[in-house]
Amino acid sequence: MKYYSTRDNKLRISAAEAIKMGLSRDGGLLTPCEIPQIDEAFLKKLLPMRYQDRSAAVMGLYLEDYSPRELTAFAENAYGPDKYDSSAVAPVRTVDGRTHCLELWHGPTSAFKDMALQMLPQLLSAALRKTGEEKTVCILVATSGDTGKAAMEGFADVPQTKILVFYPKDGVSAIQELQMVTQAGDNVGVCAVVGNFDDAQTGVKRIFSDAAMRETLEGRGYFLSSANSINWGRILPQVVYYISAYCDLVRDGKISMGDKVNFCVPTGNFGDILAAYYAQRMGLPVGRLICASNCNDVLTDFLRTGVYDRNRPFHTTMSPSMDILISSNLERLLFDLSGQDDAPVKEYMAQLAQSGRYEVSGAVREKLRSLFWGGFCGEEDTAATIARYYRDHRYLIDTHTAVAVQVMEQYRRATGDETVTVFVSTASPYKFCNHVLTAIGETPESQGVELIGQLQSATGVAAPRRLAELKGKERRFDRCTEKGGMDGVVLSFLS
């Protein structure tokens, strides 16, 4: 299978080349030239499998230049018991007869980003071998909270790689920041950016498309790649867990094979819900994709009107991984809904860069409405949902998961749709102790990692081991830059 760019549908490169590049040189996102199809027979084969084997089977449909043996070994390394505290890897928890939760935070950094970022370093290392690359890859990452730590955890001390993470100063939780600035590894770097996530992400994309910067780095023996969800090697492992969740529901008798299931996904950069869309495009029986935003509701408005407009106030919220107004992965969806025509996509992206706004065609707007439903959840409702789920279900959820729950309930009230629905839980509540404690009626007695013990004592819910181990760790990184200085940070990091 070959890959092309959302801004150049004549490009043809291999899967290994796509993963190595991360972002197309034209600024577009690399995407498969065809979507492989699955049927009931394929799903039935997956039913008795472990998550690791399901992962190898699904990814093998897209990665034809990787052998089944390689993918199986990668999955064993990525999702083994030394990394995950659940043998199911991505367990499905039943809330009631028509509501289930897909828990994606049982990995080493307690966030859903682990599901892809324990796999991507192995895919990328293999891609370097397959393409005969001799230069060292410099992986640039912009993070809204979770990607940075998960990427560094995955790439720490991986040969032929260096990784530099930019995060918004004062725009992540105290524990998210501590996870990043204490990261071990001789090949890692971290820098705060004065601004928000969109500033960090825009800076990284600008560096990628800067020909002079690429030439300078190549002269030093480096080339750039990405661990953000602009890299196809990030999206593909996420497709797996939607298919796996469906198989678990069938296996456990919660639904019958062929029954449709809705997925409600909290998202800011649109990567996580895009993976669900690709699973649906492959033939997974999915009804509606419910896109949950916090009060940075640019995606909600877009899905309802077909107008994407980032010209609005930016809100710093208790669900910081969703504090995003430029949703990069939307470009892949627009490309697919436009019949893989790069011309309108290039025009939309040019308008976004110039004016911060674009409006899709009527045909694309109707497709969006038929596939997606968008809603958003404010701060008060987020806290109230955490409290209610803890009170009614004895289920402790984080701020992002609460947004998904609340928007799922909005959708049901608005549509009357009784379809079995899976909401996606993207982070451990222990990454946001202060907000979770306050929501359940407790007064935080300290801050940051010190609150982990208080939340555990108050609820009896065990904290993830690696988060508890953050206490007392020494900060390794304290650099901060204005957004215009990111180029200099990269050059200094690689000097």
Nearest alpha-carbon partner for 58 in 283, 285, 328: 283
Q: Sign of the CA dihedral 417, 421, 424, 428?
A: positive
C-alpha–C-alpha distance, residues 147 and 462, integer Å:
23
The values of phi and psi at residue 333, to 5°, are: -65, -45
Q: Is 200 exposed, middle or buried (0-12, 13-18, 19+ CB in 10 A)?
A: buried
> Helical H runs in 378-478?
379-393, 399-415, 433-439, 451-459, 465-468
Known active-site residue 113: yes
- Tokens 């907000």: give the residue: 435
- Tokens 């083994």: give the residue: 80
Is 164:141 a contact under the CB 8 Å cutoff? yes
The values of phi and psi at residue 190, to 5°, are: -140, 140
C-alpha–C-alpha distance, residues 128 and 160, integer Å:
9
Mention every residue, 6+ apart, whose C-beta is less than 8 A from residue 146: 109, 111, 112, 113, 176, 321, 426, 427, 431
C-alpha–C-alpha distance, residues 302 and 364, integer Å:
11
The radius of gyration of the chain from alpha carbons, rounded to an integer in Å, stands at: 21
Candidates 10, 45, 83, 113; catalytic one = 113
Is 150:321 a contact under the CB 8 Å cutoff? no
For the packed helices 211-219 and 486-493, what is the interaxial angle rounded to 10 degrees? 10
Is 199:92 a contact under the CB 8 Å cutoff? no
Is 477:192 a contact under the CB 8 Å cutoff? no
C-alpha–C-alpha distance, residues 166 and 203, integer Å:
9
Is 342:7 a contact under the CB 8 Å cutoff? yes
DSSP 204: H
* Separation in Å, CA 4 to CA 9, 33, 230: 5, 6, 13
DSSP 113: T
C-alpha–C-alpha distance, residues 265 and 407, integer Å:
9
List the catalytic residues: 113
